[in-house]
Structure 1
Amino acid sequence: MPVPAAEIDDYLRTLGQRLHGPRRLRADLLAEARDSLEDAAAAYERAGLAPVAARRRAVAEFGTPGELVPGYQAELAAAGTRTLALRILVVAIVLLSSADLMWQGAPWTGVRPPAGYLALSASLDLFWIITGVLAAGAWLGLRYAARRGAPVRLPRLLGRSMAACVGLAAGAGVTLYAWSLVMWDAAVRWPPMLVGMVATGVAFVWLAGAVRGCLAGTR
């Protein structure tokens, strides 16, 4: 017979309020904790304890939220940082390999942009290369460190560094697009340019979700 879970619910609610990070992983961790608590309570009840006493004993032996939060939070921080690193790597590869498609055959082809525009464009490409390398290193490093008990400072340092890179890339990308629209009126009606802007916007929204989860997990 299922064990009533009032005490277990209260315990998990308290634990969940103290955890921050990717929602899906947080829900998974709490679900695993619930399964363990309910199994333990059911075993104590079969051993002869009353349901309320069985639940209370299971909760007491599981550990206080204060004891469990550091380990769970470290796992959430590392997972959020790995997710951000993987998304950055995907976006960097896609942008670097397909960005030129927006300009091929454009009506303004042959018109040389000013030196500042060219410098910004080249810098943005270089920035994405550096950011992609950082993301790849962070993902591999955290996977390696996970086997050895990664310190909390490592996901925090890597996560915040990558979040800053995403913010800078977004600012530079918006500046470049806006500059393009100002210089070439036809860019507003050029289909590859419009598709590229929409796709890039979707990519940054996708990255923003990972940034939010990463910063929440490492705060």
Structure 2
Amino acid sequence: MAEHRIAGTTDTQPDAALAAYLSELTARLRGPRRRRAAILTELRDGLGHAAEDRIAAGLPPERAAAAAIAQFGTPQAVAESFSGELAIAYARRTIACFIATGPLVGVWWLLLLHPSPWRTGLIALVAAIPVVPLILIAVAAAGATLATTGRLMRWLPETNPRRALTGTTAIAALCLIGDLTMITIYLLSGMPARPLAAVAIAASLTRIASSITTMRHATGMRHP
């Protein structure tokens, strides 16, 4: 089968050329693993069919492989053609993760620093947890980015891949600032050590690491 040949399981020159092409392309694609795998599977099948069509037309296998590669373009050009799709997929997946895990981090700080927010009102809540405005900004930015890169694009202005990555970086930065602020507030508060504090700090440290990774990846995708 074409997919088996191109995967580089034989030692023939055409297979080696196609495998090298796909290997270089794999190194240049950046984005969610599943989306990259789907793109590579599609390209692998397309290359295989293109090479086989040329062999059937009478070309030698080496020339057929070279012609198929020339038809698809250089690995850099092909990777660039998929960069926007992968950037949007990365932004949406990452922002969705921040939205899903945000409450899991925030609830520990809420229970630790302000266990009864419904009794004292919003002002007391903000006084106890001053990063609440940052959270609201991050949620608004996340919602706007998801809305303008998904199905709602029919009615809303579309966010291009670069702006989606910028939004992802900003959301990660806001989470980073928020978590660092909460840890600092607790350490300076003089509160006695409690198991709940260890859980809250651990949750924030985990998200700090995730935020730093997200900022690095998103920046790398913006400036390949």
Moved more, 192-201 or 43-52: 43-52
The change in CA–CA distance for 1:19 and 1:154 in structure 2 (over 3 A counts) is same
Superposition map of 1:118-137 within 5 A: 121-137=128-144
Correspondence 1:176 to 2:192: no
**Native 8 Å contact 2:131 2:182 kept in 1:** yes
The change in CA–CA distance for 1:193 and 1:149 in structure 2 (over 3 A counts) is closer
**Native 8 Å contact 2:129 2:182 kept in 1:** no
**Native 8 Å contact 1:142 1:150 kept in 2:** yes
Q: Unmatched 5+ residue regions in structure 1?
A: 106-117
Which residue of structure 2 aligns with residue 204 of structure 1? 208
SS at match of 2:84: helix
SS at match of 1:169: helix
SS at match of 2:30: coil
Structure 2 residue corresponding to 1:70, chosen from 71, 75, 80: 80
Which residue of structure 2 aligns with residue 164 of structure 1? 173
CA distance in structure 2 between the aligned counterparts of 1:179 and 1:90, rounded to whole angstroms: 29
Structure 1 residue corresponding to 2:195, chosen from 191, 195, 213: 191
Q: Unmatched 5+ residue regions in structure 2?
A: 6-13, 116-124
Structure 1 residue corresponding to 2:44, chosen from 34, 38, 58: 34
Correspondence 1:12 to 2:22: yes
Q: Could you say which structure has the greater relative contact order, defined with CA pairs below 8 angstroms and 6 or more residues apart?
A: 1
The change in CA–CA distance for 1:74 and 1:146 in structure 2 (over 3 A counts) is farther
SS at match of 2:149: helix
**Native 8 Å contact 1:84 1:207 kept in 2:** no
CA distance in structure 1 between the aligned counterparts of 2:41 and 2:217, rounded to whole angstroms: 19
CA distance in structure 2 between the aligned counterparts of 1:120 and 1:7, rounded to whole angstroms: 64
What number of residue pairs does the alignment pair up?
203
Which residue of structure 2 aligns with residue 81 of structure 1? 91
Shift of 1:86: 1.0
- After TM superposition, the score normalised by the length of structure 1 is 0.74
- After TM superposition, the score normalised by the length of structure 2 is 0.73
Which residue of structure 2 aligns with residue 108 of structure 1? none
Which amino acid letter does the alignment assign opposite residue 198 of structure 1?
A
CA distance in structure 1 between the aligned counterparts of 2:113 and 2:172, rounded to whole angstroms: 28
Shift of 1:131: 0.8
Question: Once the two structures are aligned, what percentage of the paired residues are identical?
Answer: 26
The change in CA–CA distance for 1:149 and 1:136 in structure 2 (over 3 A counts) is closer
Shift of 1:191: 1.6
Correspondence 1:142 to 2:152: no
Which amino acid letter does the alignment assign opposite residue 137 of structure 1?
A
CA distance in structure 1 between the aligned counterparts of 2:152 and 2:163, rounded to whole angstroms: 9
CA distance in structure 2 between the aligned counterparts of 1:66 and 1:145, rounded to whole angstroms: 31
**Native 8 Å contact 1:84 1:214 kept in 2:** no
Aligned Cα root-mean-square deviation (Å) = 3.2
Which digits, 9 at most, give the CA deviation of each residue in 1:79-123, with x for residues without a partner? 221122112212323334443223578xxxxxxxxxxxx866432
Moved more, 143-152 or 68-77: 143-152
Which residue of structure 2 aligns with residue 215 of structure 1? 219
